[in-house]
Amino acid sequence: MEISELQDVLRRTYLERDARRGPDATFRWLTEEVGELAKALRGKDRENLEHEFGDVLAWLTSLASLTGVELSAAAERYANGCPKCGHIPCDCGFE
């Protein structure tokens, strides 16, 4: 699935509800899901890990839609490798 397709599906599915919640509350839901992902990363349950990555992606996508950001456009920043040094792999020297 392309990022734009995912954003379209999630927009049609959740935008009305997310708009009532607003960007601030939607961001709080996203951070909660990031916390659940952090817990899953410490575990060994691959299925749960995929589930939590999916939840983080969905909430991030919903937040982008609420704020008028197309994720496919945002992702273009990384289309040619590192946006700072322009190399693949990154050669910035940061860890």
Task: Give every CB contact of residue 71 below 8 A, 6+ residues apart in sequence.
Answer: 3, 4, 6, 7, 60, 61, 64
Task: Give every CB contact of residue 6 below 8 A, 6+ residues apart in sequence.
Answer: 57, 61, 71
Domain extent at residue 34 = 3-78
User: Does residue 85 lie in a domain region?
Assistant: no
Terminal Cα distance for the chain, rounded: 31
Written as six digits, the tokens of 79 are 């289309």
Task: Give every CB contact of residue 32 below 8 A, 6+ residues apart in sequence.
Answer: none
72 pLDDT more than 70:
yes
User: Does residue 60 lie in a domain region?
Assistant: yes
User: Does residue 84 lie in a domain region?
Assistant: no
Domain count, the chain: 1
**Domain CATH for 65:** 1.10.287.1080
User: Does residue 59 lie in a domain region?
Assistant: yes
pLDDT tens profile 10-66: 999 999 999 999 999 999 999 999 999 999 999 989 999 999 999 999 999 999 999
What is the pLDDT at residue 95? 62
